[in-house]
Amino acid sequence: MKEKEGYVDCPEQQVILYVEKENGKYGPMQTGSYLTRHYLDDYEEKRKNLEMELLKQVRNKEMSVIHYYMILGDLTLSELSSRVGLRKGKVRNHLEYHGFPGIKEEILQKYADVFNVQVADLKRMMEETPA
């Protein structure tokens, strides 16, 4: 890539590219992030829509808040199971709306730690679902 082709106007996020200088040699060039400049708004909008759709599913009792955070965290069942130290079948049960109320406090704390939220937030989200 030539130096003039590498310039991106994005002061929010700067990157270093190695480009071909005008003298024919390669060297570093500081410029803006192409991805941030052109795609971040789209990503944020899609992420917001995903959160709203998942929250709607929690409120409709189609999934538990554990499943909500697992999807948002882009975790697989195996990854989540490993992080909380439970077998996959147990975690799979916790992903269902009806499986949430039976989760012990210490297990909820493990989930909260994985998702970087408070246990109270997990409970609150489940309690806000309509009867």
The reply to whether 82 and 27 lie within a common domain is no
Is residue 69 within 8 Å of 108, Cβ to Cβ?
no
Backbone angles phi, psi at 83, to 5 degrees: -70, -35
pLDDT at 130: 59
Quick check: pTM over 0.75? no
Domain count, the chain: 2
**CA-CA distances (angstroms) from residue 107 to 56, 66, 91?**
25, 11, 10
The model's pLDDT over 16-31, given as tens digits with 9 standing for 90+, comes to 989 888 888 999 988 8
The single-letter code of the amino acid at 6 is: G
Summarised one tens digit per residue, pLDDT across range 89-98 is: 999 999 999 9
- How much is the average pLDDT of 24-44? 85
> 61 and 115: one domain?
yes
Q: Do 18 and 61 have their domain in common? A: no
Instruction: Tell me the average pLDDT across 21-42.
Output: 85
Q: Residue 129 has what pLDDT?
A: 60
- Domain of 79 in residue numbering reads as 46-127
What whole-number distance in Å separates Cα of residue 37 and Cα of residue 8? 8
User: Do 13 and 74 fall into the same domain?
Assistant: no
